[in-house]
Amino acid sequence: MLAGTQADRDVLVEIYKCGVCTQTFGELEDLQDHVTQHKKDLTCTKCRKIFMSKEKFEVCRFFYVQKVSLNCSFREILLK
């Protein structure tokens, strides 16, 4: 026989997943704190844009490091 009531076994635990990395959290507040750190880590120091993916952040940084000058609209397409 299983211990506990059916209600105890039916309780669903919400898991909050980070949209930037693979980390998960049991509390929404913990996820929000975690995402705040990503924002600090993924803010371009040149254009001040905040990226939610490391890949797009790296593309932006590449443009500045390589001093690549592209038409602004083309650059925006690459960073979407």
- Is 60 among the domain residues? yes
Question: In which band, very low, low, confident or very high, does the pLDDT at 68 lie, cut at 50, 70 and 90?
Answer: low
- Is 71 among the domain residues? yes
Which structure tokens are listed for 13?
Answer: 């635990």
The total domain count for the chain is: 1
Q: In sequence order, which residues have a C-beta less than 8 Å from that of residue 15 and are 6 or more positions away?
A: 24, 25, 26
Average pLDDT of 3-7?
57
Which structure tokens are listed for 38?
Answer: 């990503």
What distance in Å separates the CA atoms of residue 45 and residue 51, rounded to the nearest whole number? 12
Residues of the domain holding 14: 6-79
- Is 1 among the domain residues? no
Which structure tokens are listed for 18?
Answer: 């980070």
Q: What is the pLDDT of residues 14-62, one digit of tens each?
A: 799 988 788 999 999 999 999 888 888 888 888 888 887 788 888 888 8
Instruction: Write down the pTM of the prediction.
Output: 0.47
User: In the chain, pLDDT over 90 holds for what percent of residues?
Assistant: 18
Phi then psi for 37, rounded to 5 degrees?
-65, -40
